[in-house]
Amino acid sequence: MKRLFQNLLLIGLMATAVFMYSCGEDTTEEPALAKPTITLSGDLLSQTTFEVGDSVGFNVSFTAEAEFSGFNYQVTINKDSVNEQTQAMQYVTPTDLGFTNNETSGMFGFSIMQEIPEELAGTTISLYLEVVDKENQIASETFDFAVIESINEFETVLIGGFNSESLGSSYDASSDSVFFASNLRGNAANQARIDFVYYFADTPQRTIAAPNNDEAELTWDAQNSSAWPFDVTENATTFQVADVGFDFDAASTSMDLSNAYSEVLTGESRITGLEVDDVVVFKLDASRGEKFGAFKVTAVDGNSSGSITLTVKIQK
């Protein structure tokens, strides 16, 4: 035991001597190399929203006095929520980006998503980006953006009543197409496209109805000698009078329209007594993709041979 303590003491004295010797010499430390920098250019700098189908890309400029080592990124969907999803971080070596192994500055283009998928509509995305140098020093940037699904808007949609000789009375809301009965009868493909019809009766006057609505067929039979034109397919569109809190003019996204339709309430197969400035929300048949939409009455004209003019907004 005595020999062990003597050896420890000797080691301690040697260490002290080395420390004192080193303190007596002038030393010059190498200056620390500057941390890298990252600068981005492109859509991320000016956009806070992207639409389904958009690409998300940008240019990355960097400086790295200690030489560029790599680039990392992480995509987090709905950060800090119960539905949070994180894509694995990816590391890209300099040669993968077209650089040599001793670059101190450069720029490259990078795409996080070539096309934003539809299932990300309504989510927020947090994007973390970083460049790393060979001293493992990091420069980073973070961007947040929302994914929206845009809508189609059709202005001045003119639909005639059942007795109109100049205007069709059946409407395909997805493609903004108006059909005459002669375009439908015996044509199953065209019948499958129709989302609603317009007619005028003494009671309940101006009405928009789904092709499967029995009252619409009875009114047709009362006003026309020809047979009801839907002999194969009668789509089951449902309608609701818009809630007073729904701002039709401001609606611009798919979510605006889907939120306006209450799944709690029962949708009706027709809306009656329509007047100028009335707003109605609707949901298409399952065979039509169950798209949500809304229309606003902008003009009315006459009776059973007259017309109604709408502005229509619908999910793409």
Pairing relationship of beta strands 49-51 and 138-148 according to DSSP bridges? parallel
Lowest-confidence pick of 83-97, 103-117, 188-202, 229-243:
83-97
Q: How sure is the predictor about 83, in pLDDT bands with cuts at 50, 70 and 90? A: confident
Domains of the chain (ranges plus CATH)? Answer: 37-148 (2.60.40.640), 151-315 (no CATH)
pTM over 0.75: no
Asked whether 193 and 172 are in contact (CB, 8 A), the reply is yes
pLDDT, tens digit (0-9, with 9 covering 90-100), for 7-29: 323 333 233 333 333 454 555 56
249: how many CB neighbours lie within 10 A of its CB? 9
